[in-house]
Structures are given as C-alpha cells and as structure tokens.
Structure 1
Amino acid sequence: MPSPPGGFEVPLWRAVAVFRFAALAYVGLLVLRDADRYVHPVVAGAVLLAMLGATVTTAYGYVRPARRGWPLLLADLAVVLGVLLVSPWAQGRVAVATGVPSLAVVWLAGPVLAWAVSGGRRRGVVAALLVGGVDLATRERIGQSTLTGAILLLLAGVVVGHVARLAVTAEQRLHRAVELETTTRERERLARGIHDSVLQVLALVQRRGAHLEGEAGELARLAGEQEAALRALIAGAPPPDATPEGEAGTLDLRTLLGRYATATVSLSAPATPVLLPAPVARELAAATGAALENVGRHAGGRAWLLIEDEGETVTVSVRDEGPGIPAGRLDEAVRQGRLGVAQSIRGRVADLGGDVTITSTPDVGTEVELTVPRRLR
C-alpha cells in the first residue's frame, strides 16, 4: 500500500527533530563548560531552558501536517533569532571576544532545516540568510570560521530543500502510478467479465444475423456496432466525442478515426500516438469519413482503414471490396454536380497540402489513399 499523503516527508521531519535534540545536548555541554566565563550565567541557563521548550514544541508541532503552517515556522525562526540577539549580553563582550561560541551554536540550523523541508530550496535559503545575517551582525569580529558557518548554513538550506521537493515529487508520481495500476486492473477485470458474456453474445448475434433481411439484419448490424464500441471502451479508448487537444494544439489521429471503427469497418493504427496539428487532424478525419460514406453507399459498407505514420507525412488508406469505380466515372460525377469526392475528399486534402490517390479495379474494390504533411504548408 502507498504511504499516506506527506508520508515521504515524515522521515525528514523526524531527522530534523533528532538533529535539534542532538544540537541542544551539545549546547548544554558548552554552557556547562563555559558558564564561569559568562557575565550572566543565570540568563544563559534561562536561554537554555527556552531552547529546550522550543525544541520539544517544534518536535511535536512538525509531526502533524496541519500544524506545519506559517505560525509555527515564524515562531521557530523568531526563537532562534532571539537566542542569537541575547547571546552577546548573556555571555559578555569579553567572552565573545575570546572566542566563546554563541549560545545557539549549531542549534541555530533547526529553523533553516524546517523551512527547507516545508517549502523547498527557496524557503531554506530565506531562513539561512536571516539566521546567518543576524549571527554575523551580533559578532564584533567576523573570522573565517564564522563565514564558513554561514555558508554551510546556506548550503544546508539549499540541499535539504532540494531533497524535500524530490521526496514530494516522488510521492506524487507514486500515487499516480498506483492509481493507474488500480484502474488498469479494474478495467482488465471488467474486460474479462464482459468478454465472457456480453461480447460473445453480441458477436454471435452479429454473425448469425449478418445475412438476414429486415429487422433481423438491422438487429445484427446494431449488435456488431455495440460489440465494437464495447471493445474500444474496455480497451481504454476515449468516447467518440472526447477528443481533447494535446500539447501545442495537437490531436491523436487514432482517436479521431477510432469513432469510425465498427463491426464492418476495421481500423489498423500504429501503437504510438499519431499526433497532428488539430486543424490537420480534423480535416483529414472528415475526408476519411466522406470516403467511408461512399463505401457505405456504393460498396456495401465493408471497409478497412489503415493509418501510416511516415514521419513528415501521414497516410490514411480506405479500402473496400465493392464493385469498383468505372473509368471516367469520377469526372462524369463532377460534370453532373455530384462533388462528394471532388470537394469532401480531394478538396479537403488539397487544402492541407496533401494528395489523394484512388486505385480502383472493377469487381475487386477501391482503395483511397489520403496523404497529408504533418505541418500545414
């Protein structure tokens, strides 16, 4: 089972809590060691107790996602900045000048890590700059070790923030993958059930009634169409009226021509999407539909569609086994004002900068090839 939302961040928050307790223990040891050098050791002890309270509060607060908002983040940062500002007064200028570390020491990195985990690199950098800037401002002398500490703090904010965003992205992808796998398994389960029952019955009705006349033949035809529609549905194909545009206004030609696939029209297409600019894809699909109308009107409706992706061009072939087109019949149709082939097919393809090739043999059938460039000319 996948982790709950935010699950990948939980180990990071636990690591931050462990770091803060370990850093606080180190601060306690330094305070015990250097207490006799402080001007106000009691104040230093009070600051140490405040740091303990802040560490416990943030450890419990960051565990629950609902509490990881700006109030807790800002309070966490404010406590660290307050410790940095109080340290010179509690320790005294002499102690600070002799190299005694501030009361915060490495504990000051706590809010930087918390901000980085909660909001990524940008928040981590902001917190690091604020903490590092206040730390440098409270020192009378800025040495190499002080600058190194500020740089390390900045790097920690960047690196931890980057890792936190990677964790969030990985979790989102995992959830999408699990949802897709669940959907696929459910579709496969339904497909098995439908195949063993509904599809077999529809196929049987279509085969038995294919050569019957009247209402029985119409029923067989409808059964074949529903069988094809069900097969497309359980295979994950979108419905005919659902043809959303893809990236940069492209459409998958397979989806547009898939609406023509029925019991009497077979469609063969590449396994990968055949992407075309939306206007090109729609016009090519309309020209293909016009060709299929002619098949239904003159060749009994049985046809085979083939999509070929040739890189720079795309070709759609419409083949039937009808009586064929007699020589000169198309020119005669144009003279008589019947412009179906001339305008609906050749006109559309010509506007796209493509070509139409019609090959017809009497009593064998007709093949219409529609070839268009992938881009409008």
Structure 2
Amino acid sequence: MPKRERVMRMSVELPLWRALAGYRVLTMLYAIGLCATAYDRFTRPWVAVAYYAVLAVWTLATLPKVSGAASCTRRFLAADLAIALAGILLTPLADNHQRIASGGPTLPSIWTAGAVLAFAVKGGWRWAAIASTAVAAANLIERGHPARDTVHNVILVWVASIAIGYVVEVARASERTLARALEIEAATRERERLARDIHDSVLQVLAMVKRRGAALGGEAAELGRLAGEQEVALRTLVSGGLVPVSRVSEDLAEGAVVRAVEEPDDDGPLDLRALLAPYAGARVSLAEPGAPVPLSPDAAREVAAAVGAALDNVRAHAGEGARAWILVEDEPDEIVVTVRDDGPGIPEGRLAQAEGEGRLGVALSIRGRLRDLGGGAEILSVPGQGTEVELKVPKGAVRARGKKAER
C-alpha cells in the first residue's frame, strides 16, 4: 500500500514558552537573592519575606501554565500580573524611603518583565501594551515621582514587550502560511498519485470501452459514448478537482441533459468555473483561467444557465455529432464566456424569424439573462462554419431587482 504523506506541524511558539518558563524561575531566584543581600536595610523585612514566599510558590506552581498558549489562560495572566503589581506597590511598605529614592529595586525586581512577556507571547503586542502600561503606572506610584531611571526602565519594558508581541504575531501568521503551503503540497502529491493510479486502470478501461463500442456499433456504440463522457469527466476531476457535481443524468430519448450541482448557500461570490465545469464532456471542451472567476451568486448562475441554453441550441440544431467549445476569459472589467460549435451555422435572418414566430429561446434564455445583469450577448454565425455566442457580464453584476430570468 502506498504511503500517504502527512504534514508535520512545528510550533514556532514552543521555544518562546520554554524560555519564558526558565526566565520566571531565574528572575524569582534573583529577586530573592537581592532581598537576602539587603535584608538588614528593610524597615519591615517580614513583609518582604512573606511576599517572596508567595512569589516562589506561585512561580513554581504555575510552570505548567506557561508551557503553551492553551494552558496560559486569561485568568492566569490577570492573577500573574496582579502579583507583580502587588509586589511593586508593597515595596514602600517593606523597604526604607531613602533606598527607594536612590533607585533601589522593587520587591519583584525584573520578575515583573516575565508577567508582561507572558501577555506578549499569548496575545501579541496589544496585550503586551496593556500589561506594560499597568506596570509603568505601578512603578510611578511606588517611586512617587517620575525619576529618570524609573522612566528609563518603564520605556524599556514597554518597547521590548510590544516588539516581542509583534514578532509573535508575525511568527504565527508565517506558521499558518507555511502549514497551509505544506498541506497544499501534500494534497497535490496525493492527487498526482491518485491520477497516476486512475490513469493506469479506470481511464484506460473507459477509453478501451469507448473504442470497442464505436467499432461494434448499435447499442455498444451508445455504451462507448457514455464511457467516453465519463472518461472526460474523470480526467477533469483528477486534474483540477473543480467539478462539484452531485448528479449528472441524461435523458437519452430526448437528448436533454439534466445536471444538479451542489452550490454554496451563502451570499459570497461563486467561482464561475465550478458552475461551467459540469458542461464539459466528450463533445464539449472547456477552456478556463487557472485562477477562480468570482461572480455574485445570481450572476454566476445566470451566466451558467445562458451557457446551458446555448449548448441546448447546439444539440437541437447542430446535430448529435456536433462539437462545442466553451472559453472563459477574465478581463479587467468584465467576464467573457464564448460558446462555439462546428455545426452548419444559422441562416441569415433565421433568429429574427424565430422571434416573430414566438420562439424566444435565444431572446430570453440567452440575451434576456445577460441584459438583466447589465451585460450583453452577441451571436455570430456563418452558414457552414458554425455559430459563436459571446456572453459579456460586468464584474460585480447582480441580477436586476424584480426580474427573475426565465428558466
């Protein structure tokens, strides 16, 4: 059994979370070390000891919380920032005023930056800006006035956290783009493998049935024709995957083609190529752009219906053996769909005569649909050289209100 490719995703955030966890532990030990070296200078050392006990327990107990974005919840971030802010505001109560005025560190010291960085890694630069602003306000309150070193530290934390948050957002977007590209590459390779397998088995069988049926004639010829059409449809499917056909059935007695296409129910644009793809068959070739051809749902369905009406005319007037070609062109301001056949053509004046006799198939089913969309239909025919129907619809076209095209 052939191996199926699997896309392996590697998170670019994982190293950041690991670094953050290590930073929190190291800065917690650093803050406790600062307290130990200056213990005799504190006016209320028991306040510092109590705070560091809480800080140590919180830092070690919440290490799993900073292992990834899923576990780092908003509630945890709020509590983490609250502990950092509480330590800053408790500093005047534990330390002496002279040491604070001379630029002494706060109780949490640089551990506070870890709380802000958690906001940056989790929510990007906007969350980082909110957290760093709260820390800046607490530092200004703790110092009592905007000292130079305090402002310097506040700006440093603010800029660094926002920059890291922005880098995280860019990394996430790049990761999503890379993952999508890898998925597309894997899907393309899988489709190529399936196409090779199908070509080596199913398509060759269908082609053989088509050739043998044509050679035997009679009912076998009809069976060969059906096999040929299924071969074309299957080739279209494995090469592009465009055809969203849920059911294609043919009334062989009357020569009518009934097609049911699964279409989106939303109001977003439809790819005109997907609506025209079901018309392709053994005697109908479809040439289309490589990129989607978006139209509003109403406009796309009306254009597809007009193409179907043109093909109905080919079957009715050019004979069962006639071939037809559909060409889709995506111009800057409009979309042009051309339906051409190799039939006997339309005698001069025949269309006007048909309208005068009350047969309005071309007038309503083709020209009327395009007129309601703000476009137009031009029919060119030379006796003995086939017929060409050119449909033009402006981009952004919507069917006129109150008008429902005839079906």
Corresponding residue for 1:303? Answer: 324
Residues 1:336 and 2:357 aligned together: yes
Counterpart residue identity of residue 329, structure 1: R
1:372 paired with 2:393, answer yes
TM-score by length of structure 1 reads: 0.88
**In 2: Cα distance, 1:357 partner to 1:289 partner:** 16
Map of 1:82 onto structure 2:
86
Tell me: CA distance 1:238–1:59, structure 2 relative to 1, closer, same or farther (3 Å): same
Superposed, which structure 2 residues align to 1:178-193 within 5 Å?
Answer: 178-193=182-197
Q: Give distance in 1, aligned partners of 2:159 and 2:182.
A: 35
- CA deviation vs aligned residue, 1:157-183 (integer Å, no higher than 9, x gap): 322222222233233333322322222
The answer to whether the 8 A contact 1:322-1:363 is kept is: yes
Give the equivalent residue in structure 1 for 2:242: 237
Distance 1:324 1:104 in 2: 89
Listed one character per residue, the Cα deviations across residues 303-335 of structure 1 (whole Å, up to 9, x for unaligned) are 111222332233222222222222222222222
Instruction: Describe how 1:172-251 pairs up with structure 2 within 5 A.
Output: 172-210=176-214, 214-234=218-238, 235-240=240-245, 241-244=261-264, 249-251=268-270
Cα distance between partner residues in 1 of 2:72 and 2:169 = 16
* Amino acid in the other structure paired with 2:350: R
User: Which 5+ residue runs of structure 2 have no aligned equivalent?
Assistant: 1-6, 246-260, 399-407
1:53 maps to amino acid = V
Give the Cα separation in 2 of the matches to 1:64 and 1:314: 49
Aligned to 2:14: 10
Corresponding residue for 1:292? Answer: 311
Structure-2 residue corresponding to 1:257: 276
Decide whether the 8 Å contact of 1:243 with 1:255 is kept in 2: no
Question: What percentage of residue pairs aligned between the two structures are identical?
Answer: 49
Match of 1:94 among 92, 98, 102: 98
How far 1:197 moved relative to its partner? 1.0
Q: Comparing 237-246 with 307-316, which one deviates more in the overlay?
A: 237-246
Classify 1:168/1:311 alpha carbon distance in 2 versus 1 (closer, same or farther; 3 Å): closer
Q: Determine the structure 1 residue equivalent to 2:285.
A: 266
Distance of aligned partners of 1:376 and 1:54 in 2 relative to their CA distance in 1, 3 Å threshold: closer
Please give the residue correspondences for 1:61-210 in structure 2 after superposition, counting only pairs within 5 Å.
61-63=65-67, 67-210=71-214
- Maintained 8 Å contact 2:243/2:278: no
Per-residue CA distance 1:336-377 (angstroms, 9 max, x = gap): 222212221222233334343333333332222223333549
RMSD of aligned alpha carbons: 2.7
Contact 1:2/1:174 (<8 A) preserved: no
Give 2:131's aligned amino acid: A
Change (3 A) 1:200 1:60: same
Provide the secondary structure at the position in 2 that maps to 1:308: strand
Provide closer, same or farther for how the CA distance between residues 338 and 68 of structure 1 changes in structure 2, counting only shifts above 3 A. Answer: same
Work out the number of aligned pairs and report it: 374
Deviations 1:9-67 (A, max 9, x none): 21111222233344334434533443332223454345444433333333343125553
In structure 2, distance between residues paired with 1:95 and 1:359 = 94
Q: Deviations 1:113-152 (Å, cap 9, x if unpaired)?
A: 1122122223222222222222222223431211222222
Structure 1 residues 120 and 376: alpha-carbon distance in aligned structure 2, compared to 1, 3 A threshold: closer
Is the helix fraction higher in 1 or 2?
1
The DSSP-based 3-state class of the residue aligned with 1:8 is coil
TM-score by length of 2: 0.82
Q: How does 1:342-357 map to 2 (within 5 A)?
A: 342-357=363-378
The residue aligned with 2:342 is 321
Q: Which moved more, 1:289-298 or 1:218-227?
A: 218-227
How many angstroms apart in 2 are the aligned matches of 1:307 and 1:3?
38
Aligned residue identity for 1:194: I
Distance 1:266 1:93, change over 3 A: same
Q: Please say if residues 233 and 239 of structure 1, whose CA atoms lie closer than 8 Å, have aligned partners that are also in contact.
A: no
| Secondary structure of the structure 1 residue equivalent to 2:359 | coil
